[in-house]
Structure 1
Amino acid sequence: MSDINIPIGSTLKKIRENKGYTQNEISDHTMARSTYTKFENNDITPTLSKYLAILDHMDMSHEEFSYLLNDFELGQKETILYLFKQLNKNPTLELIYEIIEKGEKLVQERYDQLTLDILNACRGYAVLFEEQNLAKAKDYAQEVWNRMEILDKWYLAELHIINNILYLFDSDTAALLTERALETLTQYKHLDEVRTLKISFLLHLTNLLMMDQKYEQTLFYIKQMESESAQMDDAVMLATALVRKEVCMKKIGDLSEPGLIDRAVRILDSLNKQNLKELVLKDPENFLNLYSSYPVDQIKDEILA
């Protein structure tokens, strides 16, 4: 919240009055009304417990309050993290360079380890997009992993980063990391971003497993990706899961679900994503695989177009 330049107290007062609450109603049993008055007057700063209690009585989340404090804008670091999370849904080179530009500006102003990790993850992605050089991209990913591997626990920010460097590992290790990530994410079941992150982990992992020709193992994770995508109404990821499912089933001689690729093509047709449809028909095995020698430039602007 380094960009905040609006006093917390005056913002609390404005929200309270707009919602029609009295100081007594906001302070309730958690603090004296006189204490709350001092908060509104910016005479004292609330403790974390009192701050959360105030927001609860105002029917407001911390995220919304922070947004209001910044005059309906995200702070500098919050913007970088927000954009980085969008890579799960919209991995375009333009977005990657926007994150790099904003991240480099922030770290020139102050030290921020998370932003440094995001920068390395994005630089690795840029190499994948522009040069399709997996070995070179891994050098950037390794810089990130050097810090991540010594942490006792990963939270959402760390999981977003690990998801975007999954290509650093062999497919077996990537599967173990994905399992750990998915288990952790079950604890965040009420947060909207979590299901998108789950799908993205499964997208990256199935890329790696298919490249290693581990088709039966891939199918195990594709089915999870198919289920999560259907529940999220994420049509592009559902189509991707269907394409990969038919490819893997054919590889192991299982012809029990014919027509999955045709179904995926119909989905893409209905979304008017003709470029993605053409890529499916041209090379279904490498569809949306950022790690192969596939022509990524043909798909990067089409995923959410």
Structure 2
Amino acid sequence: MSLTSFSIGATLKKIRENKGYTQKEISDDTMARSTYTKFERNDITQTLSKYMAILDHMDMSHEEFIYILNEYELGQKETILYLFRKIEKNPNSALIDEIIEKGEELVQERYDQLILDILNACRGYKIILEEQDLTKAKVYAQKVWDRLETLDNWYLAEMRILNSILYLFDSETAASLTNRALANLDCYPHLEEAASLKISFLLHVTNLLMVDKNYEQALFYVKQMEGTAQSTEHPIMWATALIRKEVCMTKLGDTTELRLIEKAKRVFDSLDKPTLTEWAENDPENFYNLYAKKQTKLLK
């Protein structure tokens, strides 16, 4: 018997007892009580359907169970994915270096295509932050796209990777890919991760459109970013949208909404983010834009 299978049974038993449930309550009408007892003893292996039914009766998600099984720590791959999600809104060299280090360790031990994609995405980010060389960074982004473009559908993992390499494309193509991704993300209305990823796509595509000075199309996505960030309570991204909205509207000669940057600065002040307040005040057009050379040094 492997240590892993032993741990699964022992962990199921411990959780059940801590929650005060009986074996009969957990097995319910999904399986015989004797069958569930064998699961706890590791005499048999759960089928996927029975495993999910057990967790449902224990009021627990798969993610939480795996976390507990791993002694309240993230596994090797889960750690990399967790760190990579943090990059979506806060790219910086230290975080990227940590992901690259952990990713290289994992792929030396076993093949994992997603981690290979993440490594290439992070190497591209690293070049953008440290060398401000989009052309050089696109070499790594292209390696990721070579795989993604062959897929019939994108799920959350693939969309997170795609979001990280949008700079590979011209702004119009990036906008088209963003539209497709946003439509896919609409299939996940109840997942917070999908809402965060939607905001991140909108952040990236407006980065590219504003660098190209396509303020009208950028404003279209900025308004979506504003609404999504406000409704899902992402204050920094909401404030970022306000800044971009005022910049775009000003460039287009629209003065119907005033002092949006001042409102954003008040948000940053309330969050005790003086550096963001300073950025918004000194260079609003390039605020939080990974692809603007003036900003990459500030984002390190």
Q: TM over 0.5: same fold?
A: yes
Aligned length, in residue pairs: 298
1:151 aligned to 2:151? yes
TM-score normalised over the length of structure 2: 0.96
In structure 2, what is the equivalent of residue 46 of structure 1? 46
Of the structure 1 ranges 177-186 and 232-241, higher mean CA displacement relative to structure 2 is found in 232-241
In structure 1, what is the equivalent of residue 203 of structure 2? 203
- Quote the offset at 1:258 in angstroms: 1.6
In structure 2, what is the equivalent of residue 21 of structure 1? 21
In structure 2, what is the equivalent of residue 87 of structure 1? 87
- Quote the offset at 1:81 in angstroms: 0.8
Q: Give per-residue Cα distances to partners, 1:75-130, cap 9 Å, x unaligned.
A: 11111111111112322211111111100000000111000000000000011111
In structure 2, what is the equivalent of residue 11 of structure 1? 11
Going from structure 1 to structure 2, the CA distance change for 1:18 and 1:269 (only over 3 Å counts) comes to closer
In structure 1, what is the Cα distance between the partners aligned to 2:57 and 2:5?
24
Q: Give per-residue Cα distances to partners, 1:243-270, cap 9 Å, x unaligned.
A: 1111111111111112112222222222
In structure 2, what is the Cα distance between the partners aligned to 1:91 and 1:214?
24
In structure 1, what is the Cα distance between the partners aligned to 2:170 and 2:230?
28
- Quote the offset at 1:6 in angstroms: 5.3
Long gaps (5+) in structure 2? none
1:289 aligned to 2:293? no
1:151-230 maps to which residues of 2 (within 5 A)? Answer: 151-230=151-230
- Quote the offset at 1:299 in angstroms: 3.4
Structure 1 residue runs of 4+, over 4 Å off?
A: 3-6
Instruction: Please tell me the residue identity of whatever aligns with 2:184.
Output: T
In structure 2, what is the Cα distance between the partners aligned to 1:46 and 1:195?
33
Secondary structure at 1:294 match in 2: helix
In structure 2, what is the Cα distance between the partners aligned to 1:6 and 1:103?
28
In structure 1, what is the Cα distance between the partners aligned to 2:246 and 2:232?
21
In structure 2, what is the Cα distance between the partners aligned to 1:230 and 1:200?
14
Secondary structure at 2:272 match in 1: coil
Task: Answer yes or no: is the 8 Å Cα contact 1:89–1:196 preserved in 2.
Answer: no
1:99 aligned to 2:99? yes
In structure 1, what is the Cα distance between the partners aligned to 2:6 and 2:73?
12
In structure 1, what is the Cα distance between the partners aligned to 2:68 and 2:251?
53
Task: Answer yes or no: is the 8 Å Cα contact 1:290–1:296 preserved in 2.
Answer: yes
Secondary structure at 2:13 match in 1: helix
1:268 aligned to 2:298? no
Task: Answer yes or no: is the 8 Å Cα contact 1:4–1:75 preserved in 2.
Answer: no
> Larger helix proportion, structure 1 or 2?
2
Long gaps (5+) in structure 1? 301-305
TM-score normalised over the length of structure 1: 0.94
- Quote the offset at 1:271 in angstroms: 2.3
Instruction: Please tell me the residue identity of whatever aligns with 2:114.
Output: L
In structure 2, what is the Cα distance between the partners aligned to 1:188 and 1:6?
35
In structure 2, what is the Cα distance between the partners aligned to 1:19 and 1:218?
51
In structure 2, what is the Cα distance between the partners aligned to 1:5 and 1:240?
47
Secondary structure at 1:188 match in 2: coil
In structure 2, what is the Cα distance between the partners aligned to 1:280 and 1:45?
56
Task: Answer yes or no: is the 8 Å Cα contact 1:276–1:299 preserved in 2.
Answer: no
1:256 aligned to 2:262? no
Task: Answer yes or no: is the 8 Å Cα contact 2:289–2:295 preserved in 1.
Answer: no
Instruction: Please tell me the residue identity of whatever aligns with 2:15.
Output: I
- Quote the offset at 1:4 in angstroms: 5.2
Q: Identity of aligned pairs, percent?
A: 67
In structure 1, what is the equivalent of residue 31 of structure 2? 31
Q: Give per-residue Cα distances to partners, 1:165-193, cap 9 Å, x unaligned.
A: 11111111111111111111111111121
Task: Answer yes or no: is the 8 Å Cα contact 1:26–1:54 preserved in 2.
Answer: yes
In structure 2, what is the Cα distance between the partners aligned to 1:62 and 1:268?
36
In structure 1, what is the Cα distance between the partners aligned to 2:146 and 2:54?
40
In structure 2, what is the Cα distance between the partners aligned to 1:100 and 1:234?
27
Instruction: Please tell me the residue identity of whatever aligns with 1:45.
Output: T
- Quote the offset at 1:14 in angstroms: 1.2
Instruction: Please tell me the residue identity of whatever aligns with 1:235.
Output: P
Instruction: Please tell me the residue identity of whatever aligns with 1:113.
Output: Q
In structure 1, what is the Cα distance between the partners aligned to 2:44 and 2:212?
60
In structure 2, what is the Cα distance between the partners aligned to 1:72 and 1:141?
34
